[in-house]
Amino acid sequence: MAVARFGTGSSSMVAARLQALLAWASSSHAAAAGLLVVACLLAFLPGFFTLPPIDRDEARFAQATKQMLESGDYIDIRFQDESRYKKPVGIYWLQAAVVRTAEAAGMPEARTRIWLYRIPSLIGAIGGVLLTYWTALAFVSRRAAVLAGLMMASSILLGVEARLAKTDAMLLATVIAAMGAMGRAYLTERGVREAVEHPWTQPAIFWTAMAAGFLIKGPLIMMVVGLTIVALAVVDRSARFVLRLKPLAGLAWMLLLVLPWFVAIVVRSGDSFFIESVGRDLLSKVGSGQEAHFGPPGLYLLLFWGTFFPAAMLAPMAAQAVWRTRREPGTAYLLAWLVPTWVVFEAAMTKLPHYVLPVYPAIAILIALAIDRKALSANIWLRRAPMWWFFLVTAVTVGLIVVNIMIGQRLGLLTWGFCAAAMITALFAWWLFEADGVEVSFLRAAFAAMLLSTSAFGATFATIGNLFPSRQLAQFVDYGGCERPAVATAGFHEPSLVFLVGTQVQHVGGAGAADYLGVGGPCRYAFIDSRQERSFVQRADAIGLRYMVGPRVDGVNISSGRAVSILTFIGGAP
């Protein structure tokens, strides 16, 4: 009762304003879109422009795009001298278009500005949130659809992907578009929704999204859609709803969009693309823990509570309502979207947190459906789940403070400020959950998540130089004032260094670095990991190499978590 009195007293004004905000956002599609876009910008922009390239996937994607721009070859995909055929060309084209536009606008050094390569991911993430809202409108009221969009906008996982120049945020947008169109076709076929659109509208959206998703990340979108269709066909003993998507004409349209590049890459590389993308990348992820990313079944369920924070805390309260309505067409469709794909990813040997991102919109809409019907569980233990809003924010706060002190060698007062605001907001979201209701409490929790993202990405990671040795090495080269520096690296072979310093970076051993400097010529640099220092010195002495010693760069390899100490050398000492 004390909580209820506090809620109706001190927080009543804030709660009323949050309710009014939600009511305004629910008044029109334009208002809903406006609120969701603002929420996305608050959640995704901190650190977006200031974080250096992140090893290893982001830097590899960006470097491959940079090489397309350098070579003018927009068919082949390469990282330095090696082919990079793990994914199709879609994301590289999008990144290249953004950088080309920036160059045409006169932006200096556009090709090494990593945030330009992230813009397609930002667009994909915002598009995914708006498309979640659009998809949810077929299942819930506009007010609940806004909540579903906010659940995606505030989720930690989507916030991470929005800041990385790779495929997953844009893939998410294509999957939601396809699943939203197919969901409308399914509900219309089941007689619970009137077909108000032109009969070709949903097929056009569906097959265009399928083509875009296939060009972004290959057959993964087909797996999500295909498993949903199979699940619904088994449950309903019919898949007639697929006919509403005009499969013959739609498949022809999809092939028209995707085949030209696939034909071109086959002409260029033979069967190498399919061997690497399907054989070495896709199938190896299913059968083995690729690149040491092994995980047991159940790992995604464990990660869910952090990656879909803060909306994940509402899932236990919605579970009972979802189970009771599992045979209703809307719930059945969302479960068919969620369950089979989740099971496949749990069974696969390779596990990375972002793999299950394409099913998170289904979870968001299922939670919104339970909220819409005021059917959240009244179980006292389940309704204590919001306490984790405060406890998880507190745990992350402690982690960020440790990073500031141990790695950044500083107190990090800005981090403390944002974290304190996040903790207070999360505490009120939990404390006043029963008094203010689920909608207001979730809005508070979503804002707490945004404050936490600002603290992590904007005030902490982006400002600690030791987390990004490649940036420090690139700055050292820039200080030399060379127009075309020649660089060799021994023991530190991260893609971010190639992106920042140049495609010409040579990867050698310690002795090879000495030989590289021994060639002579101006502006030759060697970066030597401390583990390679002895072999470098021995070889340098043997060949009588004259060199200058630059600054030592100490830091952490963010992709491996290993501390690194890199010595810098310049050839041609007097």
pLDDT in tens, 145-159: 999 999 999 999 999
Q: Which of these, 93, 85, 100, 54, lies nearest to 497 by C-alpha position?
A: 54
pLDDT of residue 573: 57
Statement: residue 137 has pLDDT above 50? yes
The CB-side HSE value for 130 (13 A sphere, CA atoms) comes to 18
Residue the block writes with tokens 């819930």? 140
| pTM score over 0.75 | yes
> Is residue 190 pLDDT above 70, yes or no?
yes
Is it the case that residue 182 has pLDDT exceeding 90? Answer: yes
C-alpha–C-alpha distance, residues 94 and 110, integer Å: 15
With beta carbons less than 8 A apart as the criterion, state whether 153 and 40 touch. Answer: yes
| Per-residue pLDDT, 280 | 62
Range of lowest pLDDT (317-321, 382-386, 518-522): 518-522
Reduced to 3 states (helix: H, G, I; strand: E, B; else coil), residue 379 is: coil
Residue 415: exposure state from Cβ atoms within 10 A (0-12, 13-18, ≥19): buried
Least confident of 45-59, 180-194, 264-278: 264-278
pLDDT at 292 over 80: no
Cα–Cα distance for residue pair 224/334, rounded to 1 Å = 12
Question: How many residues comprise the chain?
Answer: 574
Low-confidence winner among 73-87, 124-138, 260-274, 543-557 (lowest mean pLDDT): 260-274
DSSP line for 471-497: HHHHHHHHHTT-SS-EEEEES---HHH
> 1-15, 58-72, 517-531, 539-553: which has the minimum mean pLDDT?
1-15
CA distance 415 to 394: 13
338 pLDDT more than 80 = yes
**Predicted confidence (pLDDT) per residue in 82-106, tens digit:** 999 888 999 999 999 999 999 999 9
Reported as a single tens digit per residue, the pLDDT across 200-258 is 999 999 999 999 999 999 999 999 999 999 999 999 999 999 999 999 999 999 999 99
Token pair for 556: 């952490």
* Helix, strand, coil percentages, rounded to 5, for the chain: 70, 5, 25
pLDDT of residue 294: 77
Contact 148, 368 (CB under 8 A): yes
Element (H, E) at 142: helix 142-154
Q: 484: exposed, middle or buried (C-beta count within 10 Å: 0-12, 13-18, 19+)?
A: exposed
Q: From CA 392, how far away is CA 362, in angstroms rounded? A: 23
* Long-range contacts, 109-115 (Cβ 8 Å, 24+): 111/66, 111/69, 111/70, 112/66, 112/499, 112/500, 114/51, 114/52, 114/53, 114/58, 114/62, 114/165, 114/499, 115/48, 115/49
Rounded-to-integer distance, Cα 397 and Cα 416, Å: 8
5 pLDDT above the threshold of 60:
no
pLDDT exceeds 60 at position 8:
no
Alpha helices per DSSP H over 297-376: 299-307, 315-324, 329-347, 360-372
What would the mean pLDDT of 29-53 be, rounded to a whole number?
98
Structure-block tokens of residue 456: 């992590």
Report whether pLDDT(3) > 50.
no
pLDDT tens-digit readout, 344-395: 999 998 899 999 999 999 999 999 999 999 999 999 999 999 999 999 999 9
**Is 50 exceeded by the pLDDT of residue 521?**
yes
Residue 273 is predicted with a pLDDT of: 83
Assess whether pLDDT exceeds 70 at residue 282.
no
Average per-residue pLDDT for the chain: 93
In the prediction, which pLDDT does 355 show?
96
